[in-house]
Chains A and B, each alone.
Chain A
Amino acid sequence: MRRLLVALLAGAWVATLLALVLPLPIALAGGRIGTEAATPVFFGAWLMLSGALYASGTALRMGVYALRSSAIILLVMALFAAWPPVDATLVGLAVGSAILALAQGWVAQRLLAAASAAGTRRGRQ
């Protein structure tokens, strides 16, 4: 139950971002996306991501995978925002997304390092 809840929570965060970014190439390529398009993307991504995260193992591992996945999505978002032609708003979005991505990557790294140090300590004891 604990792992399932963590998987649903982590999956929801990644799916929220994914449903924002996944349809975007269509719009940037000149296509049209209707108002209802993101609904199946969000719920589909949430289900699949939660399942994949649940299968990945411990809550720590799920957290690290979710943080890294969302960091990658945010970096893709930053790349799309920085795609020319750009204006000040888009540069701001690109920089903001990149900072948020790096922050999540850092937290994931920090969690792994702390868990690894704790494991080493337990091993020594």
Chain B
Amino acid sequence: MHRDRVAALYDVHSWAGVMFSVLVMIVCASGAIAVFGEEIDHWSNPALRVASDAPARIDADQALQRLSAAAPIDAGGSASMSLPHRLQGYYSMPFPTRHERLDRLYLDATSGELLPPRQSYLFWYLRHLHVRLLSDWNGRLFVGLVGIAMLLSVVTGLLIHKHLFRDLLRMRWKFGDGGRTLMSELHKWVGAWGLLFHLMIALTGTWLALEGYVSAAIRAAIDAGPETPHVAVDDRPATMTSLAPLLLRAPSAIPGLQPTYVDLDRWGMADATVTIAGDLPGTLVQHGMARVRYNAVSGALLEVRDARTRGFWAQLRAALEPLHYGYYGGLGLKLVYLLLGMMPALLSLTGALIWFDRRARLRGGRGSGDGRTAGPPS
């Protein structure tokens, strides 16, 4: 590649890295730890640590009855009930409180007892730090900009890197020149090993962060699927069907579905519906995106939404979150995500140090008339 072009790419690489280094550090460090969010939530809420592997003796109907006794659902109103899954051995239902905008009620799936309130939201702190830098005011926009800066850094880093394969297998712990060589070696070695992963994380993260700012028309085109069947409004009170049989039937509509929550709409009325949503473990489909909707009076199947049976763009959109957070695999994959996810934080530190050292050398070089340090590194 022409030397001027390499120099220009090097400048883009450096400036994108240095300008956003602090934000990259925060977003990537919090994101890497947030991969273990469920475990951290389990750890920081001792009152909710009920055995998740014990058989659930309380079915969804009993749970709904007990939860709605504590937080009544208005006639014709909506509610959402989370089902026991993974580390959560309880049912839960949100309700507004004075202290929190939205708190939840928890019901032990084994004993059927109401559990004490949640003690902490430390997992949500990590998640909010990663997703919106703890700021409701355009936090996602800044995170999206971090993603674009990461993309620029990765792509330009790849283009200016001459010895990618050599650097995969070589790392020198040399400190002789005030740590310059060590920083440069670490930067290249870590960058080479994490290249594809960081490209994927930057791409998926940028889209997820900026999706809300993208035109509704583009989002609608991506999410385009079969028409949602219209349910005629009927305000007559009606008896609701049992949830338990619907939960048993749902996996026959979407093979592999593990229900995680139910949404109740127009509950108690003749036009009420039940949506059963859940996960498809081991697949690249976002949690909660697979859904089956039933008529809540007759139990008739109304709609099936399975991203795997939809168009390419919808499948790609459904894959973004599992790819970004690494929840499509097991513990080993989460560990890989933790390690590789920490790497951009290290790259921002080493990159910033290299940039400052190079500027210092350039200033010294100009002073002494030594022009050899001006070019980008080989």
Asked if residues B30 and A60 are in contact (CB atoms below 8 Å), the reply is no
On chain B, the residues within 8 Å of A115 by CB distance are 175, 179
B197 at the interface (CB under 8 A from A): no
Task: Give the complex CA separation of A27 and B41 in angstroms.
Answer: 11
B26 at the interface (CB under 8 A from A): yes
Known contacts: A33-B119, A39-B134, A42-B125. The answer to whether A89 contacts B29 by CB under 8 A is no
Interface size class of B (residues with CB under 8 A): 35 or more
B356 at the interface (CB under 8 A from A): yes
On chain B, the residues within 8 Å of A9 by CB distance are 21-22, 25, 345, 348-349, 352
B237 at the interface (CB under 8 A from A): no
A89-112 CB contacts (< 8 Å) to partner B: 89-90, 92-93, 96, 110-111
B33 at the interface (CB under 8 A from A): yes
20 contacts between A and B (CB under 8 A): A2-B353, A5-B356, A6-B349, A6-B353, A8-B22, A9-B352, A10-B349, A13-B29, A16-B29, A17-B33, A20-B125, A23-B120, A26-B119, A33-B121, A34-B121, A35-B125, A89-B42, A89-B43, A93-B36, A111-B175
- Contact surface of A with B, Cβ cutoff 8 Å: 1-2, 5-6, 8-10, 12-13, 16-17, 19-20, 23-24, 26-28, 30-35, 37-39, 42-43, 59-60, 63, 80-81, 85, 87, 89-90, 92-93, 96, 110-111, 114-115, 117-118, 121
Given contacts A5-B18, A16-B26, A33-B122, 9 further A-B contacts (CB under 8 A): A2-B352, A6-B352, A8-B22, A16-B30, A35-B100, A35-B121, A38-B134, A81-B43, A114-B173
- Contact surface of B with A, Cβ cutoff 8 Å: 18, 21-22, 25-26, 29-30, 33, 36, 39-40, 42-47, 49, 51, 87, 99-100, 117-122, 124-126, 129, 134, 173-176, 178-179, 182, 331, 335, 345, 348-349, 352-353, 356, 360
